[in-house]
Amino acid sequence: MSARIVIKIGSSSLTGDEGGLNERAISYFASEIASLYKAGYEVLLVTSGAVAAGFREIGYLFRPTLLHEKQAAAAVGQALLMQAYRQAFGSHGIRSAQILLTRNDFHSRKRMGNASMTVEELLRHGVIPVFNENDTVSVDELKFGDNDMLSALVANMVKAQHLIIITDIDGLYTADPRKHPHAQRLDRIEVITEEIHLLAGGSGSSVGTGGMRSKVEAAKVATRGGVPVFVGRIQENGDMLKTVEGQGQGSYFDTTLSSLPMKKQWLGFMSTPLGSIRVDQGAEEALVHGGHSLLPVGVLTVTGSFHAGDVVEVLGPDERVLGRGIVNYDDAQLHEIKGLSSSEVLQKLGGFHRLEVIHRDEWVTL
């Protein structure tokens, strides 16, 4: 199988503050992608830009901020975006296809399976799948918002060899260089620590959404799924191939030593938690560092309404998210047994129940 590359292009690289599509940029990116394609890579594109491309045509003076206005602008702009890519790829003899997804589609393993089969079929026929969020049906609380996370989930779904996130800046700096001109670029990031997260700020332009923060989040998800990530800029002929070969202008994020199997990727990054469980310091230590299961004795508080088998989020004593797991009790039972020792739980519920609240095999540290 030839190497698979997922490329994400942000709004800031495709449009200016005044909106509308920069056709020159699209044809440049298409020719760079065509060079990868012709070199034998399987390419998948995740593109933003629908809202930015459409808002002027609909009559808004600035990029809208209200959900229904963004959705209307995206409905106009998505067609313009696909038309531009279709033409640009077509001039290199390459066909393209549109795939619109929502966060919800990743929650359901069945829908993800269908999306994945469609993508495989397109690739088999040499067609480049072009993804964006399905803005019309995404509701605020379930939106990707920016496409960085969408690109990470797509990269994991297709088991890509690289995720290339193209933006308007040449990588992650020690601070936003628009505000801190002396900031230094980080060329290689082996582990995405809390400090790395703190370096990354929001968007610097009025058309971009997530800024560097959402790119680092996305890099974390992709690298934990075994996909190395590049975040940076391309601007000259041949830059895309150079970037894939490790010579790009930007930051490279290495994969983690033990990448998560698909089941745990789903649990950690795609599932919907139906409640949360706050645990004490000892339980946090056991779960996060000790590789142990969560026992009732460590549970402090329980929120939400869930059944055994559902996904819940686990918080530390300070309410920081520690991870997610599949819970073995429903919320009412858990309220009854929280803080109890194992023998007290056995007395209360009898010996037929699994003792662990979350088994370590069904747990992901985030």
Ligand X SMILES: N[C@@H](CCC(=O)OP(=O)(O)O)C(=O)O
Ligand Y SMILES: Nc1ncnc2c1ncn2[C@@H]1O[C@H](COP(=O)(O)OP(=O)(O)O)[C@@H](O)[C@H]1O
Residue 233 or 360 having the CB closest to ligand Y? 233
Give the nearest distance from C-beta 282 to ligand X in angstroms: 40
Q: Does 147 appear as a known binding residue?
A: yes
Residue 74 or 299 having the CB closest to ligand X? 74
Residue 234 or 311 having the CB closest to ligand X? 234
| Cα within 13 Å of Cα(34), Cβ side | 19
Give the nearest distance from C-beta 36 to ligand X in angstroms: 20
CA 106 to chain centroid, in Å, comes to 11
Identified binder of ligand X from the candidate list 7, 11, 42, 45, rule CB under 6 A: 11
Phi, psi of 290 (to 5 degrees): -90, -10
Residue 13 or 265 having the CB closest to ligand Y? 13
Q: Does 237 appear as a known binding residue?
A: no
Give the whole-angstrom CA distance, residue 215 versus residue 151.
10
Name the residues that contact ligand Y, by CB under 6 A.
10-13, 48, 146, 167-169, 172-173, 175-178, 199-201, 203-205, 208-212
Restricting to residues 97-136, name those near ligand X by CB under 6 A: 132-133, 135
Q: Are 215 and 231 in contact (CB under 8 A)?
A: yes
Q: Does 215 appear as a known binding residue?
A: yes
Which amino acid belongs to residue 309?
Answer: G
Q: Does 51 bind ligand X (CB under 6 A)?
A: yes
Identified binder of ligand X from the candidate list 6, 29, 34, 49, rule CB under 6 A: 49
Q: Does 74 bind ligand X (CB under 6 A)?
A: yes
Q: Which does 225 bind (CB under 5 to 8 A by kind): ligand X, ligand Y, none?
A: none
Q: Which does 54 bind (CB under 5 to 8 A by kind): ligand Y, ligand X, none?
A: none
Q: Does 19 bind ligand X (CB under 6 A)?
A: no
Identified binder of ligand X from the candidate list 48, 96, 156, 328, rule CB under 6 A: 48
Question: Cα-Cα-Cα-Cα dihedral of 288, 293, 298, 304, to 10°?
Answer: 90
Give the whole-angstrom CA distance, residue 282 versus residue 298.
7
Q: Does 167 appear as a known binding residue?
A: yes
Q: Are 24 and 30 in contact (CB under 8 A)?
A: no
Give the whole-angstrom CA distance, residue 98 versus residue 44.
11
The conformation of residue 219, written as its DSSP 8-state character, comes to H
Give the whole-angstrom CA distance, residue 241 versus residue 244.
5
Give the whole-angstrom CA distance, residue 77 versus residue 48.
10
Collect all residues with Cβ–Cβ distance below 8 Å to 145 and sequence separation of at least 6: 209, 210, 214
Using DSSP bridges, classify how beta strands 311-315 and 321-327 pair: parallel, antiparallel or unpaired: antiparallel
Q: Which residues are annotated as a binding site?
A: 8, 48, 135, 147, 167-168, 209-215
Q: Which residues bind ligand X (CB under 6 A)?
A: 10-12, 48-52, 74, 132-133, 135, 146-148, 208-210
Annotation: binding site for ATP: 8, 167-168, 209-215
